[in-house]
Structure formats: structure tokens, C-alpha cells
Amino acid sequence: MTKKGAKKRSASGLARVGPDGGELLDRELSWLDFNTRVLALAADQAVPLLERLKFLAFFSANLDEFFMVRVAGLAGRVAAGLGAATAGGLEPAAELKAIRGRVLELVADQTAIFTALMPALAEAGIHLAGPGRIDPADEEELRRRFEEQLFPVLTPLAVDPGHPFPYISNLSLNLAVLVRDGRDGERRFARVKVPPLLARFQVGADGTRLYPLEQLIGHFLTMLFPGMEVESWHPFRVTRNADLMVDDEEADDLLAAVEMQLRQRRFGRALRLEVDAGMPAGVRQLLLRELQLGADDLYEIEGILDLGSLSELCALKRPELKYPAWVPATPAGLGADAADVFATLRSRDVLVHHPYESFSAVQAFIDRAADDPDVLAIKQTMYRTSLDSAMPRALIRAAERGKQVAVLVELTARFSEEVNISWARRLEEAGVHVVYGLVGLKTGCKATLVVRRERGELRRYCHIGTGNYDASTARQYEDVGLLTGDDDIGADLSELFNYITGYSRRGDYRKLVVAPMGLRSRILDLIRETAAAPGGRIAMKMNNLVDEEVIEALYEASTAGCEIDLVIRGICRLRPGVPGRSDRIRVRSVVGRFLEHSRIFAFGQGDGPTRYFIGSADLTPSNLDRRIQLLCPVEDAALAARLEQILTAEPAANSSAWSLGPDGSWSRIQA
């Protein structure tokens, strides 16, 4: 891909290198760079107005998860006196300091972008009130709403010798209130939690003015503290460690253990305190002391806290302020009204590319299997889905019709645990054989096996994908999937499900490559074989490239003369373009309307054929060594050509592409 007028910048506008200037970039700072690329879309005037708000919301949600998981892990290492988690990485305390510096810059940028969007929103008839007073025209309506809908559910909690400091739940929005007693003139502190189940933005009387819920509560606080003078109120928010620590080797009942951890998640150690910029120093110190946090854990926010709630505004019915509606295509023979999905798959393999092609093709495959009297068994892995998903409903229907249905439900899929537990129970009640995976291994592969009786013989049909079995995410995430009747792939999936659900120890598969048994070694072999051949070329597309052994193999391949193109959405620890070491490696990142999520791998040797694979795994230690993941070959020439198009395609008009430089900085590629 040719760079046209590349504008060089890092997240802070300055070039930077890894912690030691070495060959590996820092994992956590690389992730923050990814979130910077998300933030850049919010600043892009070519992006529709409400979509810019959506990217601001994505940025906030991403940052919340980063603290709940990654910062939590680093804080734990500091507390335990442990060193760096990876070779070439910063010591945990230094890492936390570097993260704080970057987050302060990014949050300031986010606030500036949001502030700059306010006039455009107002011009579009969306008036978002600032921290000032409520418009007199809205006073009566909002007072009525406060008295009827808010006052009954609000609970002011005093803090004094008789009232201990209340527990502040994870990510909750709160008001720190200072009141003065009218009798003795003494100043007192109270906390009011903003109800999380009500809309964050309340509509004024004319339907155009919007008020943050905390502003509405603050305006009428005197109703909560009669006889007291409300001196000030200031929003604050706490982020806690929310990573589950389930020891499945010790747990007698994994489902019960996960449920217990979910109940305890809100009690995790506090990690970050976000406060309104105008909060008095004394109140800040009180919160830090009670939350057992230090000054470096405090983040001052100019303007509205928790911009993740801007997703509410993105749902406004203003199509002229959003991307044009996208209508995905349906592959021929695989629509919901297809007469015989299995006849199609007997004649050819089908590659589906979401969201450009509809997830209905995959759903039709499952629905047809559930309803077909000749289908004897359906087996599927379930990593993430939604409560309204049609996929598990089809599996329940199949079980109720007497088919053998087995589903591996990954209970520890981060932040999807509650949904997965709910579906696990419903599936079990319907007679589905539900398993929760293997001890010590998370199951991340996305695969379905259908066994059908045809002319007295059994035939297998399969779907293997890079994304989750959920139609809603398939409309937002870019993914690929293979629907096939290939005998070898079907036999391999049978062996894999026997391994997952029983005691099979088979490690040699016909076509599939399975982690943790053989995926790492196979990827390394493919890299080395390609590098050893004249005119070798490697192309890979994934979310994250972290694994040091794989990166070293790519460096060696570059040194041997192999041309390497990488499309990495998120974290990349590889440093490209270093003379004599990685000068034949190019790294791009594409961010845009759809979240790039597919994993595609191509290995070509000169004039010989190129081998293509799709899979569920990023090249990270956790995916290669601690998860059940799949790599599946795509052998049909026409389908391989489509994968090549995905690997080399120019970014869509509603996306942006970035290039990673040797110094660790990202440059936006101008179209």
C-alpha cells in the first residue's frame, strides 16, 4: 500500500520508543495508542456528528476496561513486589507512571473534542446543558420529574462518626455534597449515588435541551437535605479491579465459582478516582483517604464525567447525523428462505464476510439444522452472545425436537459472564448437554458442527468463524467465517469436541490447527518455511500481536528477505522498519465504522501457491498457550482470492488507516 502524504504523529504528537529503546514496543502503551486512534475518529470532521459522539463513548468504555483489567494487573504486581511481566517491559511502578501520563493527555484531548462538538450539536437542535443552572423554561417540568421519578429512589448517605463512609460501587456516578447545618453552622459531607437505571440525559420541556442526570439531582438537592444549606456538589466516579480470579482447578462447581466472583467484582480494589475539576481539595483528600488511593490515582475531569454514556445520544433518531444505513448482502443459497443449505454446502464452501454479508447466512445454517429431521446432532462453542440472540434459541429448539445438542459455554468470557450463565441454565433446562470447558484453559474458538444422515450415511457440516455467534455484534464487527462440508474439517471438529467435552487426548488433526497443542508451533513453522523460500511473502491480519517468539520469527524472516505486511487493529509490540532487522515489515492499523476483528493469515512462496488460514486467535501468549483456539485452512481458490482482497484492501471511506514507524509512533495515512 502506498502512503500518500503521511502525517506523522504519535498519541501525544511526539515520537516515542519502547521503554528501553529495544526491539519490543510496550504492550500497555501500544494499547493506549489504539485508543488514541479511536479518539481521532471523534475529532474527524468528516465523520457524522452522532458517530463522533459514539467514538467518544467507545474511547471512555475502552479506558474503563483498561483500568479494570490491565491497570489492575499492574497494581497487583506492585503490591506483590513483582517485576515486569514481559521481556523488555517496564517495571510495574514505572509502567503505571507512564500510563498515567498518557491517560492525562488523552482525557484532556477527549474533553477538548467533546467541548468543540457542543456548538455543532446545538446547531443540529441538540442542546446539551453545561454545568450552569437549569433553563427557567425547564424548571417546572424537571422539578415535577425529580419529585416523581428521582426523589423516591435517591438515598443521601451522611459521613460522620455515626455513619461510616459508604461503599462506592465500580463505575457508579456519585455526587460529593457539602452541606452546612442550619442549627450549629457545622459543615458536613454526604454522598448521593446517581441512579444507574435512569437515562443519563434528561430531556427538557421543549424536547431539545438535554441535562445530565447528576445536574438535575444537584439542582434540587435542597429537597434531600431540608433544614441544611447545600454549599456545593461535585460528581465523582470510582473504577475498581473487575478481573475475575476463578481457580477452576480448585472449584468443585465452576458455574457457582463464577457467580461468586461476579458478586464480588463490585467490591474489587479501587484503582482510579475521577473527579469534577471544581471539587474542593478537602473533599478530594477525603475521597482518596477513604478509597485508599494515592494522588497518582486521581484524575481531574473538565466537564462531564463518564462520556461513555454518550451512547444514549447516539441512539437518537436522527439518521441525517449518522452513517448511512448499511444493508448487508446475503450469500446465494444461504438466506433465511434457502430451500436447502446443506445442498449448497455439498457443492461448494462459502466464505461470509460480516458485516458486508449478513449474519443471517450463519443463522440460517443453524436454523435449518435445528428444524431438519435428518440432522442428528449439533455441537457448538459459545464465547460471547446476547440475551436476545436467536442462536441459542435455535439450539434449544433442536434439543426439544430430540436432537443431540452439546454446547460449550465459556463462563469466564470477560464481561459476558452473566449473559453466558443465563444461557447455560436455559440450555440445560431444555435438555442441551452444556459443558464449561477444560481445567486451566479458556475456550475462545468459534465453531459449530452439524451431523446429518444422508442416504444411510452420516455427513458433517461445519462453521468456523473469527467472530462471536451474535447477530448484533456481526452488524458492528468485521469478521469472516467458513461454512463447509469438507470431510476432513468435519472429522477434525468431531475430534475437537470430543476433546472439549470428554477425555480425548488427540493432538494430530487433519486440517485444523488447535491451540494450545499445536498452533504456536504451526505458526512458527509457516513463518520459517515461507522465509526459507525465494520470494517469500507473509500477510497477517489480527487484533493484537504480542507474542515474543512469534515476533522474533518475523524479525528473522524479514532479515532473510521475506516481505511481511501486518494489519494490526490494536496492540503491536513488533517494531517495524528497523534497518537490517525489520526493514521488510510493514504494519498498518485500520479503525472506522466497523470494528476490525477478523484474523487472516497468508503464507506465499515465490511463484508457488499461497496458503490462507482464518482463525479465532490473536498472536498473544494467552491465545497460543492458555486457550482452545482454531486455525482453519481456506483452500478454495475463489475464497482464497477474497481473503487476499481483505488483506490488501484500501480502507473504506468511513475508516482511517495508520502506519507504525520504527520509533513506535503512528502516522495517519492520508487518502
CATH of domain 341-501: 3.30.870.10
Which residues are CB-neighbours of 231 under 8 A, at least 6 positions away?
178, 179, 180, 187
**Is the peptide bond preceding residue 212 cis, with omega within 30 degrees of 0?**
no
pLDDT for the residue numbered 337: 57
Distances (CA, A) of 413 to 246, 362, 442, 622: 12, 22, 8, 13
Q: What is the dihedral of CA 330, 331, 336, 337, to 10 degrees?
A: 110
> What does the alpha-carbon distance between residue 395 and residue 413 come to, in Å, rounded to a whole number?
20
pLDDT for the residue numbered 253: 58
pLDDT for the residue numbered 520: 97
> What does the alpha-carbon distance between residue 531 and residue 180 come to, in Å, rounded to a whole number?
74
pLDDT for the residue numbered 293: 95
pLDDT for the residue numbered 671: 65
Give, in degrees to the nearest 5, the angle at Cα 341 between 340 and 346: 100
Taking domain 4-123, whether its CATH number is 1.20.120.1200 is answered by no
Q: How many CA atoms lie within 13 A of 190 on its CB side?
A: 25
What is the third-level CATH fold of 131-303?
polyphosphate kinase like (3.30.1840)
pLDDT, tens only, 565-577: 999 999 999 999 9
**Helix, strand or coil for residue 262?**
helix
pLDDT, tens only, 196-206: 888 999 988 87
Q: At what angle do helices 360-371 and 390-400 cross, to 10 degrees?
A: 10
pLDDT for the residue numbered 87: 66
All three cell numbers of 507:
493432538
Residue ranges of the domains in the chain? 4-123, 131-303, 341-501, 513-653
Give, in degrees to the nearest 5, the angle at Cα 438 between 418 and 414: 30
Give the pTM. Answer: 0.90
> What does the alpha-carbon distance between residue 406 and residue 402 come to, in Å, rounded to a whole number?
12
Closest CA to 185 of 231, 233, 234: 231
State the Rg of the chain over Cα.
Answer: 27
What is the third-level CATH fold of 513-653?
Endonuclease; Chain A (3.30.870)
pLDDT for the residue numbered 160: 79
Same fold, 131-303 and 341-501: no
pLDDT for the residue numbered 59: 97
Q: What is the dihedral of CA 383, 385, 389, 391, to 10 degrees?
A: -10
pLDDT for the residue numbered 287: 96
Residue ranges of the chain whose pLDDT lies below 50: 1-20, 247-252
pLDDT for the residue numbered 375: 97
pLDDT for the residue numbered 339: 61
